[in-house]
Structure 1
Amino acid sequence: MPERNVFSWTSMMGMYNVLGCYEEIVNLFYLMISEGVRPDHFVFPKVFKACSELKDFRVGKDVYDYMISIEFEGNACVKRALLDMFIKCGRMEIATELFEEIEYKDVVMWNMMVSGYASRGDFDKALTCVKDMKLDGVLPDQVTWNSIITGYAQSGRLKEASNWFSQMNDSKDFKPNLVSWTALIAGHEQNGYSSQALHLFKQMLNQGVKPNSRTIASVISACTNLSMLQHGKEIHGYCIKKDGLRSDLMVGNSLVDFYAKCQCLDAARLEFDKIKQKDLVSWNTMLAGYAVKGSYEDAIKLLNEMEIQGVEPDTVTWNGLITGFTQNGQGETALEFFYRMNQADMDLNITSISGALAACTQVKDLKLGKEIHGYVIRHCIQLSTASSPQKTLSFGIRFLLPLYKVDKLLML
């Protein structure tokens, strides 16, 4: 196009927004500015959303400073997008200042602040926001309640989450919806209350609320934690009947993990192969399943497939292989993958090191165990199982003690 106006740029940004190509939106914005085209109230929300999704505060602040420099005040839509960007980038202090400067605040803006505080566990400020919005003449809606319930559930404060859920259920204005149920179910599953999560799921279905992929993933994970193979298969059957759930990546990954941990590797691989757009979680889950089962050849083949597909293994990949083969009693194989992890120049963490030390114990390799122990000391890595100094137990000591005992016996 010989001439591109603001509508041309907005159309391109809109397309990339739909595709989820947020870096392209940022690049287009800077190109637009370089060509001297002034953004409008349709452009800025798209750019701020892109910064939110990328969690890129630096660029977001740069765009905000530019907006101030051209004296562009923006409408409610722009201010919502800006507020959301600061919150999602973890800058609640800036979001609070901006929020206080906004003269006319709608329920969406109030809910953003409530959700922002609740998601960070600052419930005093979140509840204060709820009170202040009432004083401002804005009535809390279902989103407000869901934000509080989700915040409590994610923080592990399940009693408070359940109390708010019950109050919402008794309300005349609105009842718990899919978001409410899913937050409570996921909260229980993530905090070790898998049986309660399944009970809540049953209640949700009895209420006629249909689950989404997030709900199903949490329920399948609960079945995994409880080793409930038959119940998990029933949930799988439900997913097959629902096309949207069957093709969802989150659900697919959960099913691979479920079957792998239930020692049904053929079923796990079948579900893995059905996932059309695999992410790194898909590959890591299947590899970890092979490792725990002790299937060395299958793990090697899958690693080769990853390479062919252009998927780079990360720390989680190697940790899954190291700990999996160690759990299976194949210390030598685990150390082989530990060596490959070092060759790939990956950063070692507590999981890598504790798995490798356990493998050293299995193969009685004191020399390598000491070298790993030396690495831990040189890099000041804290290998403790408890935050309290009084209850600290070193993983390194736990795994090295058997090796030192062997060394002592050899000396005798």
Structure 2
Amino acid sequence: MLFRWAMMELLWLLLPIAAASGWWVARRDHARRSDATVRSTEYFKGLNYLIDDKPDQAIEVFTRMADVDQDTAETHLALGNLFRRRGEVDRAIHIHSSLIARTNLTDDQRRRAMLELGEDYLRAGLFDRAEALFQELVDQPDHMEVALSRLIHILQQEKDWRQAIVYCDRLERIGGESRRRQTAHFCCELAEEANSRNALAEVRMWLLDALARDPDCTRANLLLGNLAMCAGDHQAAIRAFQAVERQDRGYFPEVIAPLGQCYGTLGHLDQWLTYLRDVQQRDHGGRITDALAEWLLRQEGEEEALRFLERELREYPTLLGLRRLVEIKLGRGEGAEYADLKALHCISTQMLNNAARYRCDNCGFVVKSLHWCCPSCLQWSTIKPIPDLVMKTSA
């Protein structure tokens, strides 16, 4: 009996506590539902501002939402990316920098916001600010590859080739994708810098490093050939220039003039003509055909040059070859068609002068001078001489 009385007393004591607890839980659930309703309302209000093309008001709404819950950070990241893609980099910077200033973000969210802010600065051309952010992320496993690739891009713009090589080698080790073509060009850039200081031993060191990284680096052999010519070693220059043709025949027009000069200095023009004929049989592009016709004219006379051009142009018509043929005929200064030939020569020369000489194999960008890095797509060794081969006639 005493026990039952004690239990009843305890029950009456616990009833107020239970009632208070229930009231507190109900109040908390109501607050949560109320907060969720507020977030939902604010979220759709921000979307409506975006749809109505009122980005400033949308930013204000979404920024307020960050104070409510850290889950809204995902919305802000997406919004900042949207503005950056639209070219509104200042708004993207405002959103991502506001996110980083918050104290209620997780470490992962903060790092992602830093990465996006770095992309904003990069798009805006603020390389020093972007570099500082990517340097903070370069040791974070989840963001290492992106940070390294962005740092390499920045270092290229700043022409810090040594550090760019270090980061490329590191990125190749962790990502598996070869960066050897890129780093070979960085070595060539360092070689050209050394050449401007007349540090010839350093020039050769960097060029050999470039070839060790990328045995198909035509730029390195072209520079080695020029270096050997300056040193008076014309045989070494010939070997380097001929390697260009074996590596990538598309760049051979760039070495025709120095190769001819080397053979001429050594008194081996017969060997030069034999070699040039051999290359021309593999590549009937206009520049090689024009060069061979010029040397035939010098060494074997007009008749041999004309026979070669008439035979070649019947099967492989090129504008350069046609102009050379007209020039030789005009040199004779005979026949009633002289005026017509002069007009044809004027037209072909004007067309050649106005035409782009180089084109990027990757993006199609055309220019009149050789760039080792395409200004449009920023790829290396993709801009090559346009062959000027109009067509191959059918048999």
* TM-score, with structure 1 as normaliser: 0.37
Mark the structure with the bigger radius of gyration.
2
* TM-score, with structure 2 as normaliser: 0.38
